[in-house]
Chain A
Amino acid sequence: DGGITQSPKYLFRKEGQNVTLSCEQNLNHDAMYWYRQDPGQGLRLIYYSQIVNDFQKGDIAEGYSVSREKKESFPLTVTSAQKNPTAFYLCASSKQERLPQHFGDGTRLSIL
């Protein structure tokens, strides 16, 4: 079955450490997205990519970085510059940027 796979499901970060969240899709979708979800805040866009080797910042890109070397993969790195990284991170994809976005099951990041 096609879908979006996020790993790991739970991740812990030490102070000053960079961590990378994985997102892989086999839906042959062009666009991929990263959202951050905080309790009572809904989802906020971190980064998005319409095509390979191209990506744009969303509303809250500071402290995060991404790459899009393959159509299927869009990893998110939470850098040490992100001072409040504890959140639920959701990856999404769509065939075109205006079509409904399909979501993975998320990664919960916590600070040790």
Chain B
Amino acid sequence: AQSVTQPDIHITVSEGASLELRCNYSYGATPYLFWYVQSPGQGLQLLLKYFSGDTLVQGIKGFEAEFKRSQSSFNLRKPSVHWSDAAEYFCAVGPYSGGGADGLTFGKGTHLIIQP
């Protein structure tokens, strides 16, 4: 079965500092990979996606992520964080393999706190 691991439950970063959120996945084939952001009480917004091709993908709000097949990782980065980046971040992999059900498998999320 596929799975996504986000090893950091909480991360605290100073405003203006760089950010890296980790994501590791287990998937039987070439995955489609996604990063979403969620503000409190809101739905999820897609930051970026990887389907194939260039392993460094650019997203919205200045975020980027790099797909490393050898490490089964898809880490999210931002060179300089802003206070408005404080939110919950989810990594996801899809589609489901086998079983007939389709959709995305999500990690448990990383809560990003920005210090002034």
Interface set of A (CB-CB < 8 Å, partner B): 4, 6, 31, 33, 35, 40-45, 48, 50, 56-59, 90, 92, 97-98, 100-106, 108
Contact of A56 among B42, B90, B101, B107 (CB under 8 A): B101
At the interface, yes or no: B104 with Cβ under 8 Å from chain A?
yes
At the interface, yes or no: B106 with Cβ under 8 Å from chain A?
yes
Question: Could you list 28 examples of A-B contacts with CB < 8 Å?
Answer: A31-B102, A41-B108, A42-B4, A42-B90, A42-B106, A42-B107, A42-B108, A42-B109, A43-B44, A43-B92, A44-B106, A45-B101, A48-B101, A48-B103, A50-B102, A57-B101, A58-B103, A92-B44, A97-B103, A98-B95, A98-B102, A100-B46, A100-B49, A101-B46, A101-B104, A105-B41, A105-B43, A106-B42
CB neighbours (8 Å) of A97 from chain B are 95, 102-103
CB neighbours (8 Å) of A58 from chain B are 101, 103
Q: CA A58 – CA B101 in complex, angstroms? A: 6
Contact of A106 among B4, B41, B96, B106 (CB under 8 A): B41
Q: On chain B, which size bracket covers the interface?
A: 20 to 34
Look across to chain A and name the residue whose beta carbon is closest to the beta carbon of B49.
A100
Total number of residue pairs linking A and B with CB closer than 8 Å: 66
Chain A nearest CB from B74 CB (Å) reads: 14
